[in-house]
Structure 1
Amino acid sequence: MAVTMQHVRQQLSVQEVDYSTAAELGDDALPHLEELAAREDTVLACKALYLASLIGGPRSTEIIAGAADHADPIIRIAASAALRNLRQADRTR
């Protein structure tokens, strides 16, 4: 089954996200997480960055690094915090 934006939003829309379950969406969720992280919805963007960091891999690193330049300082802080979840090898680009 293909992961859609609706699947991703459904996982992230609850107040207390079950990130273990959400991370099972895997790499297919990353394009949607990138889109959410770039938007103006601070809470959703922060949740998207955290989930991307749990999924990991080079694509996640790109998403998080891109968010480090976001106009919203809260999202930039979330990107910085999300980097801690990535493996050391994923941190270097």
Structure 2
Amino acid sequence: MPVSQREVRQRLAQSKVDYRAVAALGPRAVPHLAELVDGNDAVLAAKAVYAAGVIGGPASRRLLESASGHADPIIRIAASAARRMAGR
């Protein structure tokens, strides 16, 4: 079943994100998460990075690797936390 950018954004826009529900979207959500990381909303981008860590897999690892060099320190911190959480 396809995952839409809108669905990913709605799940991450909550003040208290249910990361298990985001993880249930699976690897199909990672391209949408990457778009959010590249966007202008640092809070949403940090949530997207963390969600990628919860999802796991090769595409998520690439996103976390990229986010670890992001210009925004908040996003770098989220990448570091996600990598630690995933044991990477």
Shorter-chain TM-score tier = over 0.9
How many angstroms does 1:52 deviate by?
A: 0.5
The answer to whether the Cα contact below 8 Å between 1:57 and 1:86 also exists between their aligned partners in 2 is no
SS in 2 for 1:84: helix
Higher gyration radius (CA): 1
Letter in 2 for 1:73: P
Structure 2 stretches of 5 or more lacking a match? none
How many angstroms does 1:21 deviate by?
A: 1.1
Q: Give identity over the alignment, percent.
A: 53
How many residues are treated as equivalent by the alignment?
Answer: 88
Structure 1 stretches of 5 or more lacking a match? none
SS in 2 for 1:14: coil
- Mapped to 2, the partners of 1:14 and 1:65 lie a distance apart of 25
Map of 1:37 onto structure 2? 37
Map of 2:22 onto structure 1? 22
Q: TM-score, normalization: structure 1?
A: 0.88
Map of 2:63 onto structure 1? 63
1:26-46 deviation line (CA, Å, top 9, x unaligned): 011000011111223110011
Q: TM-score, normalization: structure 2?
A: 0.93
How many angstroms does 1:86 deviate by?
A: 2.3
- Mapped to 2, the partners of 1:28 and 1:85 lie a distance apart of 21
- Mapped to 2, the partners of 1:38 and 1:83 lie a distance apart of 19
- Mapped to 2, the partners of 1:35 and 1:20 lie a distance apart of 20
The farther-off stretch of 52-61 and 31-40 is: 31-40
How many angstroms does 1:84 deviate by?
A: 1.1
The CA RMSD measured in Å over matched residues stands at 1.1
Runs (4+) off by over 2 Å? none
How many angstroms does 1:85 deviate by?
A: 2.4
